[in-house]
Structure 1
Amino acid sequence: MNEIDVPLFHFSRGHFVEADYQDPLLEDYRNNPLLEALPPIWDDKTVAKQLASNPSFNVAERELPVHLRMHCVQRISRNFFRPLSRHLELQQSISRLIRDGYVGRNPLTPNYAFRARKDAYELIMKGHTNGYPVNTPTSAGFALVGISGIGKSSSLMRILQMYPQVILHRKYKGQDMPAPYQIVWLKMDCPHDGSIRGLCLNFLLAVDSLVGTKYYKKNTTKTTDELLPIMAQAAAVHCLGVLVIDEIQNLQEAKDDRAAQMLNFFVQLVNTIGLPVILVGTYKALPALNGEFRNARRNSGQGDATWHHFQKDEEWEWLLQGLWKYQWTDKKVELTPEFIDIMFEESQGISDIAIKLFMLTQWRALDKEIEHITPELICSVARDRFTLIKPALEALRSGKKNQIQKFADIYDSVSIDDYLDRIEAEKRKAARLEVIKTELGYDLQEQTVSEVNGWLIEAGIGEAIALKAAQTVVQKHLHEIDTVDLHKEALKIALQAQNNTSSTNKSIPRSKSKVKSKPTEPNDLRVIVSQGKKQKLPAYDSLKVAGYIKDPMEFIG
């Protein structure tokens, strides 16, 4: 074995904050700095709003040259995220899991730091799993498994990043903190060969990177048996809230009994130091999870999460409604039942494939100088560009179990219990979708009014005038929302309203007034530039938004 033998390494990063202790509002979470330093417990409406992400889009960009619009389309993959019921449920599970894990690990208990170091190391070293000396959490963790491409990893990261990754503690109620650094979450990929030693070294590297320790440098030559207790020790000392291991299906590639050994180690982490563990993978991981880790989670209050591909239902339509706004082709097409059917048929309800298909179709339309996307174009792109995944999609399309189970990443063996759970989950999904729609807007009209209203307020327009202007311009251009620059039109209406209000106020005579200022007009360049500055826009951009600067391409030809 080489002195330094480290597999390819990746771990996800969040943000670093200083502790700001807040009342957690629940008695069992009080007087524990690890819990009081966490963000508040959010309701579903807040979570939906925080998770939602929309690419920047301006209808004027449809006038840009094709090569620039190609890059605009790329924004969809970077920034588009439409929260769904499964995301709210996952966030709630993680919120409970982290907090429940910290209930039994209060650094203010006597000799906490010493016991965390010594006991975690010795218990793992001796193979004892009968419990850490403080309260062990009831929530051991859970597994998140599902079809490949359904957004497990990306959704999980968005939720984790709602929490700080590292919290620096200095003093709590005048008392020095024995453990200054609290690592709230750590997400890593399972090594491609299922190597336990690789996982341990990667973990130590991640901790070193986050809090400046030197675990990795001091332990590169140690064996797997020696590394396991060191990893547990580091997790305990630095108050790790939850450990997330992604790509757990890689355990299927592990030699000998490595898979069982690694899963057994996760069980030991849960039982000795109370560290919740979340395992994430495709259906291919299910055989590996049906052993020790399943037994350890049996009493978990969270329950495993299984993400199947979407059904052609209200939630699928909600996802496409959000996506359909972002069209940079010459003309926009409305989302019709035919498009909903075609997108489902060609993606089989796998969100990642649907988003890529939508982007690829736009790129082809732009490249071939086709004015807008069509159902035929979508089918053509799917046929040409999805050749590698075509067999798996055809298996899903067939609905035949013997065909689907050939593809381990998309196959799910469903028991009768799972089926009954899924029926109950459908009821919860409908309720949560209503919450999301209420928070983010039921339809495009309501969403557009909200967006234009917010833009005007940021530009310095009063709230009452901004809302009225937004409602007026959206109602006026209801059937051409994506062909008119609503910001510019709404700004004109708002400035006119402000001017009228100002003129009314100035009609009262003032005896000492020496200079009469000229009333400003909505198209007064000074006003437009001034309003732009309030939104941190350069004068050039402000005038361009208002329509005073033309695209030079208009005059070429």
Structure 2
Amino acid sequence: MKMVMMMSEFDVPLFHFSRGEFVEAEYRDPLLEDYRNNPLLEALPPIWDDKTVVRRLASKPIFHESERELPVHLRLHCVQRISRDFFRPLSRHLELQQSISRLIRDGYVGRNPLTPNYAFRARRDAYELIMQGNTNGYPVNTPTSAGFALVGISGIGKSSSLLRILQMYPQVILHRKYKGQDMPAPYQIVWLKMDCPHDGSIRGLCLNFLLAVDSLVGTKYYKKNVTKSPDELLPLMAQAAAVHCLGVLVIDEIQNLQEAKDDRAAQMLNFFVQLVNTIGLPVVLVGTYKALPALNGEFRNARRNSGQGDATWHHFKKDEEWDWLLQGLWKYQWTDKKVELDQEFIDVMYDESQGISDIAIKLFMLTQWRALDKEIEHITPELIRSVARDRFTLIRPALEALRSGKKKQIQKFADIYDSVSIDDYLERIEAEQRQAERLEVIRSELGYDVTEQTVSELSAWLIDAGINQDIASDAAREVTKIHLHELDKIDIHKEALRLALQKSSGPKSNLTQPRSSTKKPKTMPTEPNDLRLIVTQGKKKKMTAYDSLKAAGYIKSPVEFLG
């Protein structure tokens, strides 16, 4: 398929929806009779076998053995590749891909744009049927495929896996001519995946949908309808889905419907039922266990005859698939030495993650980061447990619920885990590492702690100014402690001198006693042109007395006196 340019950006509010590939249609024989002579189906990629799906889904981070010789600050970045690029297909991913493949194609069987007056009827009938609340079926041909629900605990990979599968298909296909015939619907949106609004707002969902369609195919649904009510927006959403041949609509985070006020949750789910019944649009709802009460009500009737079957993704069992996942993960070690995966590692990784792939992957990364930061040669089971104990404090109740095996306890897991994302821990550990790295650089460059440096410099400055050594040391340490976090905002020397003078009981006690009666005690330089003050300030910048005086203009170049 030829790539074409993406549509330009639109002057509309931004929100997140998943993006895919935009291509120009190339038609191929779908190999099945009921899929032939339908440009929407013939423009899709071929129906893949499992081996092809595995190859297309698998993703491996960049890794070279020689990278273990890199400096630690570079290897810390290498570890980050695991989160970004590691994906190992498992049986549940193959099953999900098969369901999506059948769902999209079955949905298009009853929606052939070559049907007489298709575009007109799609625009008119979809709108009117939704407005009337008519669920007797789209007049062209209602397919049996209704969609399904994908439910599971957070962190098991529902959303990310589904997105990887959807992105195997082009998101938008541009049709020009099919067998010499002009296409009434030039744009085919194969899939659209978006999140349910946090407050379960129907209006928010509709506007986000119209925004997504606008950004994909260049329409102006949003600008023309932004002020309309939910009752007016719902049929417009159905109309846009019909006109642009949407293949499957995926609504993620469907548990947010629990936050909807009044009967909005039931109203939105009923609307999804209407989309299925009026225009034959397959709908996939994705969420945590928290979504089960709503899904087992309104949406059950719509999907009971779908034939795809709902999917519930529990945490992994400690079996061959779990071993397979860890075997793929274990290759990516950037510590000084690599350790082999043995049964002890398998057991500890399962115990600390409870078979939740996201937690396992992040735990593996966090353990490597700690090993690198602490200059530990390789990861150990004890180090994994230590990291889990320190970093997973807030999600530990959820893990304990899984260990209990009690259904009621496990169903609470979505609430616990959703409120404390594992990514929050990543951000925190990265911030801590940056802070530790920077402090280590400062210490390495300066040779000692910043606090001690300030105390030492202030004490020397006060003594040089004539303050008694003991008083100077006490004043320097005390003022540094008080103003440690604002050293760059105040005149620390002035504050130190004021405190030193307060500590002095009299003019004789605060000045260094002269070594002989003929020498006068040192006086504090206060004038800006005082050479002592210039030299003292130069010391703070690690300048010699000569360089300080030269910079101040007191030492001339010999060249000036020639000729």
So what's the TM-score if we normalise by structure 2? 0.71
Could you tell me which of 344, 360, 367 is aligned with 1:361?
Answer: 367
Counterpart Cα distance in 2 of 1:88 and 1:115: 37
Query: 2:395·2:416 contact (CA, 8 Å) conserved in 1?
Result: no
Give the letter aligned to residue 81 of structure 1. F
Q: How much identity, in percent, do the aligned residues show? A: 92
Give the letter aligned to residue 73 of structure 1. V
Could you tell me which of 331, 352, 371 is aligned with 2:337?
Answer: 331
1:56, distance to aligned residue in structure 2 (A): 0.5
Query: In the alignment, what sits opposite 1:125?
Result: 131
**Aligned residues between the structures:** 406
Could you tell me which of 174, 185, 201 is aligned with 1:195?
Answer: 201
SS in 2 for 1:306: strand
Could you tell me which of 144, 147, 154 is aligned with 1:141?
Answer: 147
Could you tell me which of 271, 296, 305 is aligned with 2:302?
Answer: 296
Distance 1:283 1:45, change over 3 A: same
Larger Cα Rg: Structure 1 or Structure 2? 2
1:408, distance to aligned residue in structure 2 (A): 4.3
Counterpart Cα distance in 2 of 1:272 and 1:103: 14
SS in 1 for 2:377: coil
Cα deviations by residue, 1:170-223 (Å, 9 ceiling, x for unpaired): 000000000000000000000000000000000000000000000000000100
1:134, distance to aligned residue in structure 2 (A): 1.2
- 1:80-95 pair list within 5 angstroms: 80-95=86-101
Query: In the alignment, what sits opposite 1:250?
Result: 256
SS in 1 for 2:156: coil
1:407, distance to aligned residue in structure 2 (A): 3.1
Counterpart Cα distance in 1 of 2:412 and 2:34: 48
Runs of 4+, deviation exceeding 6 Å: none
Counterpart Cα distance in 2 of 1:403 and 1:294: 24
Query: In the alignment, what sits opposite 1:96?
Result: 102
Query: In the alignment, what sits opposite 1:49?
Result: 55
Counterpart Cα distance in 2 of 1:75 and 1:176: 46
Could you tell me which of 220, 223, 226 is aligned with 2:226?
Answer: 220
Cα deviations by residue, 1:118-163 (Å, 9 ceiling, x for unpaired): 0000000111010001111111000000011000000001000000
1:394, distance to aligned residue in structure 2 (A): 1.1
Query: 2:290·2:411 contact (CA, 8 Å) conserved in 1?
Result: no
Counterpart Cα distance in 2 of 1:405 and 1:26: 42
Query: 2:126·2:239 contact (CA, 8 Å) conserved in 1?
Result: yes
Cα deviations by residue, 1:51-100 (Å, 9 ceiling, x for unpaired): 00000100000000000000000000000000000000000000000000
So what's the TM-score if we normalise by structure 1? 0.72
Distance 1:208 1:7, change over 3 A: closer
Which of structures 1 and 2 has the larger relative contact order (alpha carbons within 8 angstroms, sep 6+)?
Answer: 1
1:24, distance to aligned residue in structure 2 (A): 0.2
1:402, distance to aligned residue in structure 2 (A): 4.6
Could you tell me which of 227, 230, 246 is aligned with 1:240?
Answer: 246
Counterpart Cα distance in 1 of 2:337 and 2:117: 68
Could you tell me which of 31, 36, 50 is aligned with 1:25?
Answer: 31
1:9, distance to aligned residue in structure 2 (A): 2.5
SS in 1 for 2:161: helix
Query: In the alignment, what sits opposite 1:63?
Result: 69
Counterpart Cα distance in 2 of 1:331 and 1:404: 38
Counterpart Cα distance in 2 of 1:305 and 1:399: 20
Counterpart Cα distance in 1 of 2:411 and 2:27: 50
SS in 2 for 1:47: helix
Query: In the alignment, what sits opposite 1:36?
Result: 42
- Superposition CA RMSD, Å: 1.3
Query: 1:147·1:410 contact (CA, 8 Å) conserved in 2?
Result: no
Query: 1:147·1:409 contact (CA, 8 Å) conserved in 2?
Result: no
SS in 2 for 1:45: helix
1:401, distance to aligned residue in structure 2 (A): 3.7
Counterpart Cα distance in 1 of 2:204 and 2:57: 33
Query: In the alignment, what sits opposite 1:183?
Result: 189
Cα deviations by residue, 1:94-118 (Å, 9 ceiling, x for unpaired): 0000000000000000000000000
1:405, distance to aligned residue in structure 2 (A): 4.0
Query: In the alignment, what sits opposite 2:327?
Result: 321
Counterpart Cα distance in 2 of 1:364 and 1:203: 43
